[in-house]
Every structure is written in structure tokens, then in C-alpha cells.
Amino acid sequence: MLEIRWHGRGGQGAVTSVDMLARAAIGEGKYAQGFPSFGPERKGAPVAAFNRIDDKQIKVRSHIYNPDAVVVLDASLVGLVDVTEGLKEDGALIVNSTKSPEELKKEIKFKGTIATVDATRIAWDELGVPITNTTMLGALIKVLKVIDLDSVNEPLKERFGRIAPKNVAAMKRAYEEVKINQ
């Protein structure tokens, strides 16, 4: 079973990303869960959301303590929140950052896979707003190869309607532009 933790700020779309990934995985015939962790958060406050994906039924319903991957929608959270807490040593950390994976690896001192993509720039270019959720979905799919990229198209269409093509374009650009250091 693949377990993923997402870090973002309220209003950046972490919960939407979790939902889109779960729907896409289910569309491929897999089993998936997507759920947020809410407290008194408000727009701009740090939030977390989670995914589980497996080829067999998922019976566990608890919090995710040792994720296989962590996705960070906002680089300002690195250092503010321990984004590597519980992350498996051979896991993957995927960060929206202008830094290279090598630069981030030195800062964070994480031994697993680190991937970076300038998701904010891509979101501005493709969507006209700095909301990086669908952009980071593309990076995650490239790094983890958990589902086919095109499997997200239908959930995005259902969620975003007429602006879905812009979200698909942002997702595909991040898929192509993500830099991975293993």
C-alpha cells in the first residue's frame, strides 16, 4: 500500500489534490482513500491531507504516520513544519521549489528521493493564479508512477468544468519539468 502525506496552506488545494488522486486511482480499478486533517485552520494556515492507494481493499482507517511520500505545495512550509516527519528513509519528498533537488537535499538532510518543480511559476503561467494543487499532482505522478497521468483528466473535468483544460495543462507541464534526485 502506498501512503502519501500532503502539506499545504489553507486555500492552496491540498484537499482537492487528495480527492483528485483518489478518484483517478479508483478510475483505474485501484482502491484509494483521500482525507484531510483539519483543526482550527483558516486560509493561509498550514494544513495536511492524506492518500492511500493499493491494488487490494484498504481496511485501515487511521492517520498516516509513516508515509512513503510527502508532497509540499508551498516551499515556505519547509522548516516551518517538519515535512520529513515519519517519512520512510527510502521514500520520496516532492516540493514546490525553485531550488534543485540537490540544494534541497543539503538543507533537509533527507536520504531518500527528492524532487522539485517550480509549481508556482507553472500555475501562474497556465492558470493565472498561484494555486499549485493540480500542478503538484503532475509532479507526484511522475515521481511515484502510481497511476497514469491521463487518469486524472476526468476527475479534473468533473471538479473544474470549463477551466479543467488549464489544470490539465499545468499538471502535464509539472510532469515534464519535475527534477528528481535519487
Residues 6+ apart with CB under 8 A from 179: 100, 101, 115, 116, 117
Residue 103: burial class (beta carbons within 10 Å; 0-12, 13-18, 19+)? middle
Evaluate if pTM is beyond 0.75: yes
What structural domains does the chain harbor?
A: 2-181 (3.40.920.10)
Predicted confidence band at 39 (pLDDT cuts at 50, 70, 90)? low
pLDDT value at residue 116: 98
Q: Three cell numbers at 139? A: 509532479
CA distances from 45 to 9, 87, 148 (A): 5, 22, 32
Biggest CA pair distance of the chain: 42
> ∠16-18-22 over CA atoms, to 5°?
115
The pLDDT tens digits of the residues spanning 74-118 come to 999 998 889 999 999 999 999 999 999 999 999 998 999 999 999
